[in-house]
Amino acid sequence: MSEARQFLINHGAPVLFLTVLVEQIGLPLPAFPWLLAAGALSAVGKVNIAAAIAVTLAACLLADGVWFYLGRFRGAQVLNLLCRISLEPDSCVRRTQNLFTKYGWRGIIVAKFVPGLSTVTPPLAGMSNLGAGRFFLIDSGGSLLYGGSFLCLGYFFSSQIQQIGAALAGIGSSALCLVVGAAAAYIAFKYWQRKRLLDELRMARISVADLRRMLDAGENVAILDMRSAAEFASNAGIEGALHLTIDDVKAGHYEIPRDREVVVYCSCPNEVTAARVALLLRRNGFTNVRPLLGGIDAWREEALNPSTKGKAI
């Protein structure tokens, strides 16, 4: 532990920059222990707290800026990538969309303190109508609040943090092995949860072309729109679709007809939310329910590209 302390004293700014940058990019390596340690060392004059705040802000803005512009120009692909590598397939996007719906721009600040959401927020902001200047202004405030909070906690509780460090140093390598083992166990458990969920959600999808043919033939199809309230309000969906949330479906607030084909769609990568709802309906006695392959993005793409009509997606 004394070696880590000395290393942080000697290379404080680069260490903080890299740890915060790695965390904000999306890797499951928390930066707050380093921020707390830097704050504690600043209380005894070993680390310049102003420099620590500056490098934390720079790392956050660099990572968030990359994700913001990727979201603006490659939105759907970016979200698909994030949810493919996420330990919780669609909840990262859905929870962040709910933050935007509930708090608006303040959700950018709130997300800084919620693991997983801090990476998804910038690309979602890039996909929205939020201007780059306003985003970076809000993001700067959130980054300062995030970094400053942990640095100040370390500063004001410097003696307690040093006592913890000394205790861990007394344990020696066993403490490090325990921390690494606990982190590995957590990641393994979340990966197992993810695999079990995805295995459970593997079910037949209906293609956009097949749904289009059914609608053109006048078949009475019940279509459920499971997008977030913010996206539903700002972007048109499939005409005649009933907009619901997962909570609505669970509570049975709406009567969904059982005597017809039920198609569920969402805007989330891999149609995970739609598949969750389809699975929930099947467990409640619905026998003819399928998620829409590709979700609303595939529907819009088919509408913009007439040459795909009549072909399977």
Domain boundaries, the chain: 2-176+186-200, 208-308
Measured CA to CA, the distance from residue 140 to residue 96 in angstroms comes to 18
Residue 287 has pLDDT above 60, yes or no: yes
Question: Whole-number mean pLDDT of the chain?
Answer: 79
pLDDT in tens, 12-50: 688 889 999 988 888 777 888 888 888 888 888 888 889
User: Rounded distance, CA 284 to CA 154, Å?
Assistant: 51
In the block, tokens 């344990």 appear at 171
pLDDT in tens, 226-264: 887 767 877 788 988 999 888 888 887 677 888 889 999
Specify whether the CB–CB gap between 55 and 43 falls below 8 A: no
Q: Of the segments 46-55, 60-69, 105-114, 197-206, which one has the largest average pLDDT value?
A: 60-69
Q: CB atoms < 10 A from the CB of 2, how many?
A: 9
Query: Which CATH architecture group holds 208-308?
Result: 3-Layer(aba) Sandwich (3.40)
CA torsion through residues 195, 120, 15, 175, sign: negative
Q: Which of 84-93, 110-119, 165-174 has the highest mean pLDDT?
A: 110-119
Say which residues have a Cβ less than 8 Å from residue 14's Cβ, sequence separation at least 6: 55
CB 63 within 8 A of CB 147: no
Q: Are 97 and 108 in contact (CB under 8 A)?
A: no
Which pLDDT belongs to residue 257? Answer: 82
Confidence of residue 142 (pLDDT cuts 50, 70, 90): very high
CA pair distance 146, 113, nearest whole angstrom: 7
If phi > 0 it is left, if psi is from -120 to 50 it is alpha, else beta; for residue 245 that is: beta
For 50-82, what is each residue's pLDDT tens digit? 999 999 999 999 999 999 999 888 876 776 677
How many whole angstroms separate alpha carbon 62 and alpha carbon 122?
Answer: 11
C-alpha 226/C-alpha 271 separation (Å) is 10
Band the pLDDT of 145: cuts 50, 70, 90.
Answer: very high
d(CA 241, CA 260): 14
Percent of the chain with pLDDT over 90: 24
Burial 27-43 (b: 16+ CB within 10 A, else e): eeeebbebbbbbbbbbb
Query: Above 60 in pLDDT, residue 4?
Result: no
| Nearest one of 295, 292, 284, 300 to 263, comparing CA atoms | 292
Instruction: Note whether 60 and 146 are within 8 A (CB).
Output: yes
Question: Which whole-number Å values give the CA distances from 207 to 211, 242, 258, 298, in the listed order?
Answer: 6, 19, 21, 9
**279 CB-contact burial (10 Å; exposed 0-12 / middle 13-18 / buried 19+):** middle
